[in-house]
Amino acid sequence: MKRGGLLGSVLLLLFWLLTTQSYAAEPDSLSLKIGQMLMIGFRGLSIADAPEITKDIAQRHIGGVVLFDYDVPSKSSLRNISSPEQLSRLTLDLQKLSSIPLFIAIDQEGGKVNRLKAARGFPTSISAEHLGLLNNPDSTSAAAQQTARTLKAMHTGMNLGPVADLNTNPDNPVISKLQRSFSSDPTVVTRNISLTCSAYQHEGIIPTLKHFPGHGSSTTDTHRDFTDITATWSDKELEPYRLLIASGYRDPVMTAHVFNGNLDPLYPATLSKATLEGVLRNKLGFKGVILSDDMQMKAIADHYGLETAIQLAIDAGVDVLIFGNNTTYDPAIASKATEIITSLVARKLITPERIDLSYRRIMELKQRYHLDRT
């Protein structure tokens, strides 16, 4: 090896060691590792408005927060976002509270699913459906670049998108009716997702493919009730995931709360080991971080107790549990989830090794995106 190459390798190793030590201030702390597995939603336009999330970050070491522009339980038009200036201050202040850089996440898909609205000073966005109909690489790349640069300027490092669902049911109330899918053709979906993810990654924004194993054929909305896609789902809905993972995609995948008896006769995907470990990890070869969809959505919350849902999700392979606090609002949800997971480990219902596995995946993703560089 040449001298310059050796020096470069030594410097790279030194950088990795320093960042690893700074990220893992308490490397042997079970509470820290459990906290990193939680992403929590909250009310407030500033940290002064949000004492609960401040404690969750500083004391419970939660790994991420998720932001919304509208508060559903109170039907308030203000939640976390009022202007670019306000949002930038909020996200910087949130990061300063944490010893480990936070995932600060948002659903900025474009079109109707759009948290950063033009009326509040953000750029106008375009729906995935419109981009899929154009199916033009330049248009898709330009739209994704604008989204990524906007998120970067707002210090919001994770987008909960793009949507990998196929537009197979035109009457689907939560996918097709909201223009969230690029196409019913998996080739078109895959091409546009690849372009979108490349634009995000270039700007340092973490993309998240959703909703695995496919929500496009559903006839009901998992926000509202149990959703069974057994009779409507087909294997082609896996095709975007199969192609992207085979080509090297290793950023997060988000689960769907859909029940698919073809894959698991007992549990919806978020709680299904057969679906997440069996299909996503073993069959498709995915090695990255798995995020749950919001655990407070009614497809889960109305049919499973909180402890049961958390245990099943972790056992299934979920690394980050999202509690958006925007279906119902529970300011103590991070505390409850932490206590439940700690108890499950103490009772040997979840092993410390299982917690370590998620923690390592989470930390690898945070280090790879250098989330400490705001």
Would you name the residues annotated as active-site residues? 223, 293
d(CA 5, CA 13) in angstroms, rounded, equals 12
Q: Residue 158's closest CA among 190, 130, 114, 200?
A: 200
In order of 163, 209, 244, 248, 275, the CA distances from 240 in angstroms are 10, 9, 6, 12, 16
What are the start-end ranges of the E strands in 205-298?
209-212, 253-255, 290-291
Q: What is d(CA 69, CA 52) in angstroms, rounded to the nearest whole number?
A: 19
Instruction: Give the residue from 331, 330, 334, 332 showing the smallest Cα distance to 320.
Output: 334
Return contacts of 168-174, CB within 8 angstroms, 24+ apart. 168/216, 168/217, 168/232, 168/234, 168/237, 169/216, 169/217, 169/218, 169/219, 169/232, 171/219, 172/215, 172/216, 172/217, 172/218, 172/219, 173/219, 173/220, 173/221, 174/215, 174/218, 174/221, 174/222, 174/223
**Separation between Cα atoms, residue 184 and residue 139, nearest integer Å:** 19
Half-sphere exposure of 316 (CA within 13 A, CB side): 30
Q: Where is 219: in which H helix or E strand?
A: none
Residue 278, helix vs strand vs coil = helix
What is the rounded distance in angstroms from the CA atom of residue 56 to the CA atom of residue 334? 7
Q: Looking at 173-316, which runs of residues are DSSP E strands? A: 209-212, 253-255, 290-291
Nearby residues of 340 by Cβ (< 8 Å), 6 or more positions away: 306, 307, 310, 311
CB 182 within 8 A of CB 134: no
- CA 288, distance to chain mean position in Å, is 12
Element (DSSP H or E) covering residue 265: none
Residue with tokens 């995000």: 200
